[in-house]
Chains A and B, each alone.
Chain A
Amino acid sequence: MSSRTPGLAGAIARHAVLMTAAAVVLLPFLWMISTSLKPQSEVFLSEIRWWPHQLAVVENYTRAFEKAPLARFLLNGAIVTLSIFVLQVLVALPAAFALAKLRFWGRNTVFALVLFSILIPPQATALPLFLLFHSAGLLDTYAALIVPFTISVFGIFLMRQFFMTVPDDLVDAARMDGLSEFAIVWRVMLPTAIPAVTAFGIFSVVAHWNDYFWPLIAVNSTHLFTPPVGVAHFRNAEAGTDYGPLMAAATIIIAPLIVAFLLAQRRFIEGITFTGMK
C-alpha cells in the first residue's frame, strides 16, 4: 500500500493517530521513570507532575538497591537465561540434525513426539514437575530454575526446519572428509545456522527472563529470585508506600532487556516473532 490518500493530509493524519497511540503505549514507562525520580513528598499529589520539583534520583535508586538485592536478581536472570539457552542448544541441535538429515527407524514417531510436546503449555506440567523436584530435593536451587527448560521442543522444531534447507551434499562431503556425526552437527551445521540460533536465543532469553510462574513456584529464597519474582517480592515488601524506590526498582529490572532491545531492534523483533510463527 503506497501513497494513495492525498499526500500531506494523509501523512499528518497517520502521524497523529500513531503518535497518540505511541504516547499511550509509552505512558507506563514514562510514568514509571518519572516517579522513580520523585521524592516521597511528590509521589502522592492531586495533580499531574511529570518532572519533579525536587530530584530524588540518587536516593530512590540507592534505596532500591538497599531494600532488595536487585543486582542479585539481575545476575540470576543472566545466569538462568544463559544457562537455559546453552543447554537448550546442546540438546536441541543434535536432535534436530538427526530428524532433518538422518534416516532411521522411528523417525516419524520421534517427530510426532516433538510436535505433540509443542502443544503442551508450560503451566500444565508445573504441578508434577514441582513434585518431581521436591522429591529430588532440588527445589530452591538454580537447578530447579534451569533444568525444566533445557528441553525446548520448539527449538528442535525450528532448527529442524532450518537444517532441512541445508543441502544434503554438504553433509555428505563432510562425511567423505571423515567428520563424525557429532562433528558434523557442531562444525558444519551450527556455523551455517547462526542466524536461526541467534533468533532462537533472543526468543529464549526474553521468554525466560520474563517468566514469573515457574520461578514463583520453584524457589522461595531471596538470593535465587529471578527479576520478575524479585521485583514482585520488592513490591510486597513495600506494600504501597515507598513508590519512588519501587519504581526505581522496576526501572532497573526492565532496563537490561530494553537497552538490549534498543541496540538490536531488528534482531529482537525478528527473533521473537519469526520464531513465534511456529
Chain B
Amino acid sequence: MADGSGLLASPQAPVASTPHRAQLYMLKRALATISLLLPAVALMLLLLIGPVATVVVMSLTDYQLGAAAWSFVGLHNYVELFGDRVFWQSLRNTLMYVAIVVPASVALGLGTALLIEARSSLRFFYRSVFFIPVMATLIAMAISWEYMLHPQFGLINLMLKAIGLPAQAWLSDPALVLPTLAVIGVWQLFGFNMVLFLAGLVSIPHYLYEAAEMDGARSAWSRFRLVTWPMLGPVTMFVVLISAIRSFQVFDTVHVLTKGGPSKASEVLLYTMYSEGFEFFRSGLAATIAVVFLAFVLLLTLVKARILDKRVHY
C-alpha cells in the first residue's frame, strides 16, 4: 500500500519547502493553462484581429502592392471612394440585392416550414430536397443556372416561349441582371432558413395551440397570428439577420456569371473590393471598401447579438 506516510515523516523535512512546493504547483498550473490557450490566442491575433486592424490602417494609406513606398493619406481614400460613382452603384446594388433576397428567402423559408409541419407525410423528403441547394457548391450550380438562363437555349426561356411569354436576356439585360442573381441567391438560401424555422416550430408547445383553440381561435390563420408568429419572433429575427449578413456577402455568382456587368448593373460591394484589391492592386482603396463592408456587416451582427440577448422568453 503506497500511502507515502513514511516518506516525509522525518523531522528534517523542512517546513520552508511547503510554500515553495505550493508556488511551484501554481506555476505548473499556470503554464498548463497558457499552453492550452496560446495557439488559439496567437492565431486569433495573427489571422483575425491583426488583419482587421491592418485593413483599417491600410485604408488610411496609399499602399499599392509592389510599390516601393507608401504613405499615410488620412481620409483621402474615403473621400475618393465616396465621390466615386461606381462605389455608390455598387453599394446601391448590394443593398437592393439584400432587399430582395432577405424578405423572399425568409418568407419562403417560413412558408415551406409551415407547410411541411402541417402534416406528417413526406416531411423528411421535403426537408432534404429544399436543403440541397444550401449544400451544393454555388459556383457549380451557378454554371447550371447560367445555362438555364441562356437567352436562346436556356430552359427558362424555352419554358416561357412554350406558354407564349417572351424570352428575356436574364443576365445581359441591366434591368434584369440583379433580380436574376437575387433569385439564385434566394434559391440557395431559403432551405437554410426553412430548417431554422422548422426547429422553431417544433419547439412551440402544443398546449399553447390548445389554449388558443379554447379561446376561440379556429382557423389556421388565427392560430398562426395568435400563437405561431409571436412564438417564432426570436427565430424570425435571427433568420432575417443571418440572411441579411449572408446576402451582403454575395460574390460568387457575380464573379462567375456577370463580372459586375452589364455596365456595373450587378456590381456588388465585395466584387468591387476584389477587383480593386486583386485585379488592379489598389490596396489602399480596396481596404477602404473593406472597411465599409466590415462596418455594415458588423452593424448587422451586433444587432443580431443584441436582439438575441434581449429576447426574454416564457
Contacts and interface: CB of A to CB of B under 8 A. Distances in A.
Direct contact of A and B (CB under 8 A): yes
Given A29-B132, A124-B294, A129-B51, A150 B43 contact: yes
Nearest to B141: A28
A51 interface: no
A113 interface: yes
A128 B126 CA distance: 43
Contact of B47 (A104, A151, A253): A151
A134 B283 CA distance: 13
B82 interface: no
Contacts of A104: 30, 33
B141 A210 contact: no
B28 to A, nearest CB: 10
A18 B112 contact: yes
A227 to B, nearest CB: 6
B199 A273 contact: yes
B287 A268 contact: no
Interface string A1-30: 101110000110011011001100111110
10 contacts: A25-B129, A29-B136, A31-B147, A91-B40, A102-B33, A124-B293, A127-B290, A182-B36, A232-B143, A232-B256
A110 B115 contact: no
A44 B291 CA distance: 45
Given A46-B158, A121-B297, A213 B277 contact: no
B298 to A, nearest CB: 6
Nearest to A3: B119
Contact of B283 (A118, A127, A150, A269): A127
Contacts of B301: 118-119
B37 A185 contact: no
Contacts, number: 276
A14 B119 contact: yes
A240 B234 CA distance: 45
B112 A228 contact: no
A195 B143 CA distance: 35
Interface string B117-155: 111011010111111111111111101110110001101
B52 interface: yes
Nearest to B184: A28
B182 interface: no
A246 interface: yes
Interface residues of B, number: 95
Interface stretch (A53-61, A166-174, A257-265): A257-265
B245 interface: yes
A31 B139 CA distance: 16
B242 A212 contact: no
Contacts of A37: none
B170 interface: no
Interface residues of A, number: 97
B115 A48 contact: no
Contacts of B302: 119
B137 A209 contact: yes
A97 interface: yes
Contact of A151 (B48, B115, B147): B48
Contacts of A28: 133, 141, 144-145, 148, 187
Interface stretch (B6-14, B84-92, B99-107, B247-255): B247-255
Interface string A196-210: 000000000010011
Contacts of A132: 51
Nearest to A250: B140
A127 B220 contact: no
A216 interface: yes
B44 interface: yes
A148 interface: yes
A183 B145 CA distance: 50
Contacts of A268: 131, 135
A232 B142 CA distance: 10
Contacts of A212: 138-139, 251-252, 255
B223 interface: yes
A129 B135 contact: no
A94 B40 contact: yes
Contacts of B155: 27, 31, 48
Given A91-B39, A125-B55, A151-B48, A250 B143 contact: yes
Nearest to B190: A25
A126 to B, nearest CB: 8
A206 B144 CA distance: 20
Contact of B144 (A31, A98, A128, A148): A31
A128 B40 contact: no
Contacts of B249: 121, 123
A18 B201 contact: no
A227 B294 contact: no
A123 B270 contact: yes
B35 to A, nearest CB: 8
Given A44-B152, A129-B47, A182-B36, A231 B138 contact: no
Nearest to A4: B220
Contacts of A116: 49
Nearest to A49: B158
Interface string B176-200: 0000000000010001100110010
